[in-house]
A = this chain, B = another copy of it.
Amino acid sequence: MEKMKQQFTDLLKEQNAYKEALGLIQWDLRTKIPKNGMEQRAEVIGLLSEKIHQLSTSSQMKTYIDELKGKTNDAVLEKVIEKCEEDYLRSSKIPDHEFKEFVTLRSKSESVWQEAREKDDFSLLQPYLEQLVAYNKKFATYWGYETNKYNGLLDKYESGLTTSVLDEVFQKVKEALTALVKKIEQSEVEIDVDLLLHHFPKEDQEKFSLAILEKMGYDFQAGRLDETIHPFAIGINPQDVRVTTRYDEKDFRMAVFGTIHEGGHALYEQNISPELYQTPLASGTSMGIHESQSLFWENFVGRSEGFWQSHFDLFRSIAPAAFQSLDFTTFYQAINEVKPSFIRIEADELTYCLHIIIRYELEKDLIDGELEVKDLPEAWNQKMEDYLGIRPKNNKQGVLQDIHWSAGDFGYFPTYALGYMYAAQLHHQMKQELDLGTIIQSGDFAPIKEWMTKHVHQHGKMKKPLEIIRDVTGEGLNADHLIAYLTEKYSKIYQL
Contacts and interface: CB of A to CB of B under 8 A. Distances in A.
Interface stretch (A81-89, A232-240, A301-309): A232-240
Interface in A30-88: 32-37, 39-41, 43-44, 47-48
Given A20-B40, A40-B278, A240-B37, A14 B47 contact: yes
Contacts of A239: 34, 36-37, 39-40
Interface stretch (A220-228, A364-372, A477-485): A220-228
A13 B47 contact: yes
Contact of A33 (B37, B43, B240): B240
Interface stretch (A21-29, A290-298, A448-456): A21-29
Contact of A44 (B21, B34, B39, B242): B21
A12 B21 CA distance: 18
Given A24-B28, A237-B37, A43 B13 contact: yes
Contacts of A204: none
A445 interface: no
Contacts of A236: 37
B34 A224 contact: yes
A277 interface: yes
Contacts of A278: 40, 43
A40 B221 contact: no
Contacts of A220: 34
- Tell me the dominant secondary structure on chain A's binding face: helix
Interface in A344-375: none
A17 interface: yes
A248 interface: no
Contacts of A47: 13-14, 17
Interface string A270-281: 000000011000
Contacts of A25: 21, 24
A37 B239 CA distance: 5
B37 A17 contact: no
Contacts of A43: 13, 17, 278
A21 B48 contact: yes
Given A21-B48, A25-B21, A222 B37 contact: yes
Interface residues of A, number: 37
Given A34-B221, A35-B221, A222-B34, A44 B20 contact: yes
B41 A20 contact: yes
Contacts of A33: 240
Which one of A14, A220, A223, A237 has the greatest number of beta carbons of chain B within 10 Å? A237
A37 B43 CA distance: 26
Nearest to A23: B44
A121 interface: no
Nearest to A239: B36
Nearest to A220: B34
A380 to B, nearest CB: 38
A219 interface: yes
Interface in A217-262: 219-224, 236-240, 242
Interface in A1-26: 13-14, 16-17, 20-22, 24-25
A223 B32 CA distance: 9
A240 B17 contact: no
A466 B40 CA distance: 30
10 contacts: A13-B47, A14-B47, A20-B41, A21-B48, A24-B25, A34-B223, A34-B239, A36-B239, A41-B237, A43-B278
Given A21-B21, A36-B219, 4 more contacts: A13-B43, A21-B48, A32-B224, A40-B238
Closest 3 CB pairs of A and B: A37-B240, A36-B239, A21-B21
